[in-house]
Amino acid sequence: MAHGQRGPNVDFDAAYARVAPWDIGRPQPALLRLAESGSIHGRVLDVGCGTGEHALMAAALGLEATGVDSSVTAVGLAQRKAEERHLAARFLVWDALDLPSLKEQFDTVIDSALFHIFGDDDRGRYVESLRAAIPPGGGYFMLCFSDRVPGDIGPRRVTQSEIRACFRQGWTVRSIEAATMEVTFTPAGVSAWLSTIDRTSEGGGHAEPPGEDIGPDRRRPTPDTRCGVDRPGERARLGAASRRPRQGGPALIHDQRCPSRCRDRVGQAGGGAGQDGRRRGGSA
């Protein structure tokens, strides 16, 4: 379980000094499948990165990856892993509730077991912090404890309706799927929700209505079927209103929400996202 801000009565530095129950030493399978499908792309932020497995997963795919965590011990372990694996990932000691101070934006943000440590007030602060790090068109993937986990020991359980309520204004909840979070204390893992959430314009966005889990047909399209302009602010949603072939690749899919400039620029090479003059240091 990764952490961005220390929660009450938990010493995460002490937890990372031994083998923490959430630190399985590899990416969570649910998030690894997303990476292998191409859904994780561009500049990647692993928020509450712990010992860095998901940032390292992105770096191994050749993506520009950054991990942030408030635990000095966890960040030190993540940096050591990067050196041992010869991977170019950056790790910073940083508060997940203060991402605006990072002054950077990312195409994809990964959250493995961070969201569920926050109380109601800090949830709102966390979503606002994410808003600064993810521009319109960017994506957020979140794996958290679900309300299907029995008992009350460990992190707070989260319902689908809570997720939708938090990510309503300026976001679109594309899917919330039942998943398993692997842990060290049971081979069966624990019940979790895997959420796929898009950042939209400040005035737009919606959450899918409560009810059954949204199935694979509603998932974010993978890069080989996305609009040709695939970076923040210019990503088209999956639709079937019009198709245009791409040289050397499959048909591209557009719909009425696809910006007209996408059609004009299909096939052109895209520039990198993000900001120049990135801050390389960190703060506790």
Q: State how far the Cα of 220 lies from the Cα of 237, in Å rounded to an integer.
A: 8
Residues of the chain with CATH 3.40.50.150: 12-218
Q: Which 3 state secondary structure label does DSSP give 68? A: strand
What residues are paired with 68 via a beta bridge? 47, 92
- Please tell me the distance from the alpha carbon of residue 113 to that of residue 97, in angstroms, as a whole number: 15
From first to last of its 284 residues, the chain has per-residue pLDDT tens of: 444 433 445 677 776 777 778 889 999 999 999 999 999 999 999 999 999 999 999 999 999 999 999 999 999 999 999 999 999 999 999 999 999 999 999 999 999 999 999 998 899 999 999 999 999 999 999 999 998 888 777 788 999 999 999 999 999 999 999 999 999 989 999 999 999 999 998 655 555 544 444 443 444 443 333 333 333 433 333 333 333 333 333 333 333 334 433 433 333 333 333 333 333 333 33
Tokens of 198: 């898009």
Contacts of 80 (CB under 8 A, 6+ apart): none
The whole-angstrom separation of Cα 235 and Cα 262 is 8
Question: Beta strands of the chain (E only): which ranges?
Answer: 44-47, 65-69, 89-93, 108-112, 139-145, 171-181, 190-199, 206-207, 242-245, 251-254
Q: 116: which 2 tokens?
A: 């569920």
Q: What is the CATH T-level fold of the domain 12-218, as seen in this structure?
A: Rossmann fold (3.40.50)
CA distance 33 to 13: 29
